[in-house]
Structures are given as C-alpha cells and as structure tokens.
Amino acid sequence: MAINTNLQVTPLDNVGVEISGFNINEPAGPEVHAELNRLWLEHGILVFRDQDITPENQIEFSRIFGELEIHPLKATTSEEYPELFVLENGVESDKPNTAFYDGEAIVNRLAWHMDLHYTGKPNRGALLRAVIVADEDGLTGFGDLTKAYETLDDATKAKISNIEVAYKFEMQRTKWRFIDNTGYAPGPHSPKTTAEIGFPDFPDSIYPAVVTHPVSAKPVLEVVEQFLDRVIDPEKAGMSNDEADDLLRQLVAHTRKPEFHYWHQWRAGDMVLWDNWSVMHCTTGTKPGVRRLIHRTTIAGGQTLGRQ
C-alpha cells in the first residue's frame, strides 16, 4: 500500500487547501517533502485531518518545511520539547488575556497579525495542532495577503508600489490606530505595558507596503491591522498625513474581506500549517474557563523582510 505517495488536494473555503492521503506516521521520501513544500508555497495554508500526532512526530514533520525556531517567550515553551510552543486557554494565564467584546468576556481573542512582524523578521511559518479542542468558539482565521494584493485595482497598486508602512508595538489594543474597536473594552488584568508581560520595548518596524515573498517572488500586501501605525514620509508619495491614513484604512478594509479568509474549526487530529510571510492570522478566543490546548511548532525566518 503506497501511503504518502498519493497526496490529494482539496480547496478549503476561499483560500488554502486540505491535504488528504497523508499519514504523519508513515515514512515520506524527498519527493513527498518537495511536493508538500510546493503546495505550502502555492496555497499558503495547508490543513491535515485525522492525524495521530505526538510532540515527536509534530516536530519531525515540521522540519520538512525548514529549521525550527525556539520561541522568544521561554515561559510558554514545553520543558521537554523546546521546539513546542504551548498555547493554553482555561488556565490561570487567562486573566491578562481576557477582554470584553460587546460586554462578553473572551479569552485570547487576537486581531489579524503576522507572528514576530514587530521585529522586522517574521518567522517563515508555523504549524498548529489542537491537543485539547474547545467544544465551541476557538476558531483560527487565516487571511491570504498574496490574493489581497492581486485583487487590488491598478491605481492602488501603483500608489502603494513605493511607500513604506510602520508598525508600532503597543500592548493596549485601544491604541492600535487601524483596528476596529467597536464593542471592545480591556479586561481588569489586560497588560498596559510590554514590561508587564516580560517583553522589551520594541522599536517601530518598517516594511514596504508590498513585500516580495523571498521564496515565491510573489508580491504580498504587507498591511496588517495589528500595530499598524503610519505611512513613512507620505509627502514623498504626494499624500498628506490624512490621505495616508485614509489609504491605510482602505487597505485594511480590503484585507478584511471574507474572500481572502479561511476559518479553521478545530477537531482532534487536525494540523494546520501556514506561510507567515504571506498569510495573516487571528483567533476568535474562547469563553472564560473553557479548556483548549494548542501545540505550535515554528519554522524560522532566516530573513529580514522589514527593518527597525
């Protein structure tokens, strides 16, 4: 029986693909590795279902896609497996991660972002596996910024071809300039400063509004709502500060269009891999007390896409 030589590819809703005909516990040769890498690059989001996943085989599988990174937040990595980043809901650490949305307390809801974007050197990608699945909520959203760029009109493409955008690392969501904060209120333990979560202060990171993906060479709309702050030197592009802000608002609204999004509803045995150089992600969070456990492995970037 030729397992792992016959990958089947099924489109997900809007963007990304599901791969079937793959078993994480069967050996896969270099041809399968190359094909998985090709699919990852082409589609940005790969979903695998019904896998018998352990920390060991998750780490080994992730290495198909590149060298793994040890996440800078040491406290949240597993003692036994430093390559595993543990994301937990329904535990004591819920407190600082709880905020209110339309009056309802939600744990670990995250706006659209790219991991480590604020450093100028985002990681290449990551793989998530749900160890404990929440019965409800807890969706992970993925947004394809290659498609978002492709679907801009020509005038907008021309307008943003030579501008740079700055991101300001800021703990308080109410200070993010381009986020929709309708119905949002911080929780009583929401951190106000980076020091409160043991982070240093990061200088602003600056990216071209259109980044050429280092591997696919495709243009990516490098405009993501979290931490987005301003256009650099808008007058050089013939814009006032207000016009530059309007442009960013228009671009963020574009990235929020559902046609670029895939929402993953977790089941036991799922793995999701995404390309953090072309895909943004977000989470809907869970209600307080709901248990959820995710193991994440991170594929290192090795390249600086922005600057600080």
* Minimum CB–partner distance for residue 212 and Fe ion (Å): 23
Reference 108, options 285, 266, 265; nearest CA is 285
The partner residues of 101 in beta bridges, in order of sequence, read: 104, 184
Q: Judged by CB, which is closer to Fe ion: 69, or 115?
A: 115
* Minimum CB–partner distance for residue 115 and Fe ion (Å): 4
Whether 283 contacts 141, CB under 8 Å: yes
Reference 81, options 60, 62, 56, 52; nearest CA is 56
> Is 18 an interacting residue with respect to Fe ion (CB under 5 A)?
no
CB-nearest residue to Fe ion: 115
Counting residues that bind Fe ion (by CB under 5 A) gives 1
Q: Judged by CB, which is closer to Fe ion: 12, or 87?
A: 87
Q: Distance of alpha carbon 179 from its chain centroid, rounded?
A: 16
Q: Judged by CB, which is closer to Fe ion: 115, or 229?
A: 115
Which stretch, 111-119, 212-220, 254-262, 298-306, contacts Fe ion (CB under 5 A)? 111-119
Tokens 């407190």 — which residue?
95
Q: Judged by CB, which is closer to Fe ion: 230, or 281?
A: 281
> Is 115 an interacting residue with respect to Fe ion (CB under 5 A)?
yes
Between strands 205-208 and 140-144, the pairing is: unpaired
For residue 182, what are its two tokens?
């309708």
* Minimum CB–partner distance for residue 85 and Fe ion (Å): 10
* Minimum CB–partner distance for residue 118 and Fe ion (Å): 11
Q: Residue 287: enclosing H or E segment and its boundaries?
A: none
Whether 294 contacts 142, CB under 8 Å: no
> Is 170 an interacting residue with respect to Fe ion (CB under 5 A)?
no
Tokens 């911080």 — which residue?
186
Which residue ranges make up the site for Fe ion (CB under 5 A)? 115
